[in-house]
Every structure is written in C-alpha cells, then in structure tokens.
C-alpha cells in the first residue's frame, strides 16, 4: 500500500472510534476486538495503521549469554503499528523506554502487545500510543526471543496478518482485515452518523425508542435516510 493511500485511510479512521468500527465489523460477522489489550498511554490517544507483526517465544536464560529481543524495530516502516504476540506473558516485558524512543523517532503509529510493558512514565511523556495486556518491570532480555516477523498471529482467536489494519483508542484495540478495510470504514462512518442522528433527535425531545426505530438503530451501518 502506497504512503498516500495509508495517509488517506488513516485520516478516515482517526475520525471514528473503536465502538463504531466494532459495530461495522459485527455487521460483517468478523471478530475484531483484541480482548484484554488496553490503553497504557495518555487518555484520548488514538492510533491507526497497518500491522507489522512479531511473534516471541520463551527461552531459558543462560548465564553469561546475552540475547536482545527487540532489534526488529529497525525494519518497521513509519506509519505502521507494531503488533507483538508474547503469549500474554506477565513474568517479563516485551516493550520499554528504548523501543518507545525509537518508535517515536521513526514515526511508528503505535504498538499493541499481547504481553507486558514497562517504563510507562516515558511512554506517556512521549505521548506514544501503547496498548498491552499487562504492566511489569522485569526485562524480556534473556527470557524471550523473536521467533518470527511479518507472520500471521492469533490473539484470543482473532487472526492478525501483516498489512491488516489496527485501530485503538480509550476503549481498547481491534484489527480490520485488509480485504474488508474500505467496507468497514464506510459502514463505521454510517454507524457514527446514525448514532449522532439519534442523539440529535432525543436532544430535540424525541423518545429514545422512537428515535432508534425511525433512524435505523438495528442496522446502523446502513446510511441514515
């Protein structure tokens, strides 16, 4: 996908929220939400971008041998979201301050970690979008290693392939399969319009039941008539 296309898609997604996108995904019967992966950054931060996927595997520490797990970041293009599957580990981290600084320097859109992170004060100081299942202080060095890059991940039953789009905000994070991207965006924009129309109607005195029925709340991904 060309940079111009990425920028155009990102602009449309950043005008939405994860709730509208989730409803659009529901309309297509596609699982999207990455359960348990929650924001660790400043309130109000959003992120959107194509996925650069990384899968970790555990290792047994060897005395006197050093293994650094995070050098993959040099390969991640600007504008992408790093998605790390560290098996949801709570005993060590796969993200910290050095990776955060490098990600900001490179213009990476954010990170989703199925596992733990540390150095949250630095993450928040740099206003870097970070979403994880856990927080812990113990390093992943000599405890985990990169097993594969740019591979399909399975996080909680949701598949994430390289190039799928990741969106995250205060509600959590989700994945949009690239083959459904434009349909999902269009439907999510319609969901947003439908909900705004309902809010406007009840603001003007309409009963909620009537407003929902009249404005198509049962199928909000269809354009408001």
Q: For the chain, how are helix, strand and coil distributed in percent, rounded to 5?
A: 35, 25, 40
pTM: 0.92
- In order of their start, the domains of the chain are 31-176 (3.50.30.40)
pLDDT (tens digit per residue) in 162-174: 999 999 999 999 9
How many of the other CB atoms lie within 10 Å of CB of 12?
15
Is 94's pLDDT higher than 90?
yes
pLDDT digits (tens, 9 = 90+) for 96-148: 999 999 999 999 999 999 999 999 999 999 999 999 999 999 999 889 999 99
pLDDT tens-place string over residues 33-68? 999 999 999 999 999 999 999 999 998 877 666 777
Per the model's pLDDT, the better-predicted residue between 150 and 64 turns out to be 150
The answer to whether 97 is annotated as binding is yes
pLDDT attached to residue 60? 80
Report residue 101 as tokens: 């600084």
Consult the annotation and say whether 98 binds a ligand.
yes
Name the nearest CA neighbour of 85 among 116, 52, 56: 56
**Distance (Å, whole) CA 84 – CA 143:** 15
Report, as an integer, the average pLDDT of 90-100: 97
Q: Is the pLDDT score of 86 beyond 90?
A: yes
Euclidean distance between CA atoms 218 and 206, whole angstroms: 17
Looking at residue 222, its pLDDT comes to: 87
């Amino acid at each position: 996908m060309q940079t111009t296309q990425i920028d155009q898609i990102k602009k449309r997604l950043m005008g939405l929220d994860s709730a509208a996108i989730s409803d659009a995904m529901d309309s297509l019967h596609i699982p999207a939400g990455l359960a348990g992966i929650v924001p660790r950054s400043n309130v109000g931060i959003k992120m959107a971008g194509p996925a650069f996927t990384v899968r970790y595997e555990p290792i047994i520490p060897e005395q006197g041998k050093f293994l650094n797990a995070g050098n993959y970041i040099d390969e991640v293009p600007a504008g992408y979201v790093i998605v790390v599957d560290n098996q949801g580990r709570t005993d060590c981290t796969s993200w910290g301050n050095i990776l955060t600084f490098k990600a900001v320097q490179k213009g990476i859109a954010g990170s989703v970690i199925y596992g733990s992170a540390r150095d949250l004060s630095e993450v928040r100081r740099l206003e870097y979008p970070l979403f994880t299942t856990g927080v812990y202080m113990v390093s992943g060095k000599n405890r985990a290693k990169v097993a594969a890059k740019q591979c399909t991940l399975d996080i909680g039953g949701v598949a994430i392939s390289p190039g799928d789009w990741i969106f995250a905000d205060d509600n959590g994070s989700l994945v949009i399969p690239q083959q459904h991207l434009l349909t999902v965006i269009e439907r999510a924009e319609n969901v947003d319009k439908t909900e705004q129309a309902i809010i406007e109607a009840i603001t003007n005195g309409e009963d909620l039941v009537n407003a929902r029925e009249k404005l198509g709340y049962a199928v909000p991904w269809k354009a408001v008539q």
